[in-house]
């Protein structure tokens, strides 16, 4: 019976050891689960951090793209304003050139008109002087006819405009 009790105690100790081992295994499994959860939390944190960084990079990239787009827009606006200024400048220079051409043409026209007027005046004056000379000759002839003395100034009989007078013979 003693052996029986001894065996019973030994079995009790074995059971106790088995329970301890089982508890120890359970604790080890619990620690392993805790480590697994910690690893998962860490991985989740890493993924979240990576996701945030990716969003920040994408946001920065979008901002850069937006800034580049704005810069291109401003550059295009500047170029279109520059083109518009160049067109206006060209238009003004063409307008000025046309104005100068018209002015030159007008001044040439006025100069030609003035020249023609002066020529016309000169011809008129010349004609007037010839007419005056003719009438003065005629007056001389008439006066000589009435005075009975010849005062003809003609040097050439054939060209004389006076009436026949005594100086011809």
Residue-level pLDDT at 34: 94
> For 102-154, how does the pLDDT look when each residue is reduced to its tens digit (9 = 90+)?
999 999 999 999 999 999 888 888 877 777 676 666 666 556 555 544 555 55
Give the residue, 143 or 38, on which the prediction is more confident. 38
Rounded distance between C-alpha atoms, residue 165 and residue 159, angstroms: 14
Arithmetic mean of pLDDT over the chain? 80
Task: Work out the average pLDDT over 54-83.
Answer: 79
Query: In the predicted model, is pLDDT for residue 155 greater than 80?
Result: no
Query: In the predicted model, is pLDDT for residue 51 greater than 70?
Result: yes
> Which of helix, strand or coil describes residue 73?
helix
Residue-level pLDDT at 127: 79
Task: Work out the average pLDDT over 66-72.
Answer: 78
Give the residue, 83 or 30, on which the prediction is more confident. 30
CB 136 within 8 A of CB 142: no
CB neighbours of residue 138 within 10 Å = 13
71-77, Cβ contacts within 8 angstroms, sequence gap of 24 or more: none
| pTM higher than 0.85 | no
Residue-level pLDDT at 124: 83
Sign of CA dihedral 96, 98, 103, 107: positive
Residue-level pLDDT at 164: 57
Task: Work out the average pLDDT over 66-82.
Answer: 77
CB 163 within 8 A of CB 139: no
Task: Work out the average pLDDT over 92-101.
Answer: 90
Residue-level pLDDT at 9: 86
CB 150 within 8 A of CB 144: yes
> For 26-35, how does the pLDDT look when each residue is reduced to its tens digit (9 = 90+)?
999 999 999 9
């Amino acid at each position: 019976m003693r052996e029986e009790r001894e065996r019973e105690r030994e079995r009790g100790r074995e059971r106790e050891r088995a329970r301890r081992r089982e508890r120890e295994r359970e604790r080890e499994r619990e620690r392993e689960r805790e480590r697994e959860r910690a690893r998962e939390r860490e991985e989740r944190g890493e993924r979240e951090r990576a996701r945030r960084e990716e969003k920040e990079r994408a946001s920065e990239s979008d901002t850069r793209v937006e800034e580049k787009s704005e810069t291109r827009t401003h550059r295009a606006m500047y170029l279109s304003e520059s083109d518009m200024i160049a067109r206006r400048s060209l238009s003004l220079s063409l307008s000025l050139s046309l104005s100068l051409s018209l002015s030159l043409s007008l001044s040439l026209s006025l100069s030609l008109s003035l020249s023609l007027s002066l020529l016309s005046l000169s011809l008129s004056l010349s004609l007037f002087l010839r007419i005056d000379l003719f009438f003065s000759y005629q007056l001389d002839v008439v006066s000589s006819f009435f005075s009975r003395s010849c005062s003809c100034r003609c040097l050439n009989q054939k060209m004389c405009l006076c009436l026949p007078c005594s100086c011809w013979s």
